[in-house]
Amino acid sequence: MEQGYFITGTDTCAGKTWATIALMRYFKQQGKSVAGMKPVAAGCSFPCAAWECQDGRLKNADALLIQENASLKIDYDLINPYAYELPVSPHIAGINNPVNLSKIVERFNVLKELAEIVLVEGAGGWYAPLNDYEDISDLAKALALPVIIVVAIRLGCINHAKLTWQAIQHSRITCAGWIAVCVDPDMLKHDENIHTIKTALNIPLLGVLPYLASADFDLLASKLAL
């Protein structure tokens, strides 16, 4: 692995997956081999496509998208070792199969040997609990990757961005920058909010992803600059 990043968000549904896929496309366009990982996912189902149902495993739509956008064929278990059916916090969804960070690190170490760039998408926000005593911040520490913050540009985003940035600083983890994801087409004073966050956070703005009704990941990748 030449480089890797841990993608966290200001909240759930902040746009982490779209940002992760856009980053994967961005690095692939630079000629890099890329792999992705979504270690913990809640709200999984049994895929309806016959070829995907053969193994009888729960799978997550976002993790499947990450698998699809990798530079090479990667087994699903490496990408998403913890797939929970209920769309609730992982520490609740995984009560009978709690997250073990060492298992995730083990899978991540395999991916490190396969690709030049490895992107790991977190679940929820920075302090989203994974089990009874560890949260997303602990996972980021265990993987020892620089963090990229995905900020959902909607009402309340300035406060959420500041709190997330402060929490990452408190965790003493390197932060490579932040990505603004425009999730609300009716957001008022969109540019002013982004400018305020850019001024408040002492880290680079890596890109502004525009609102899209449906995904165009090559377009989104063109909006990034690392």
Question: What element of type H or E holds 175?
Answer: strand 175-181
Q: CA 55 to CA 58: how far, in whole Å?
A: 9
Active site amino acids: 38
Helices (H), 76-189: 76-79, 90-93, 101-112, 136-143, 157-170
Q: What is the largest CA-CA distance in the chain?
A: 51
**The 3-state secondary structure of 105-123, one letter per residue:** HHHHHHHHCCCCEEEEEEE
Question: Is residue 108 a contact partner of residue 73, using CB atoms and an 8 Å limit?
Answer: no
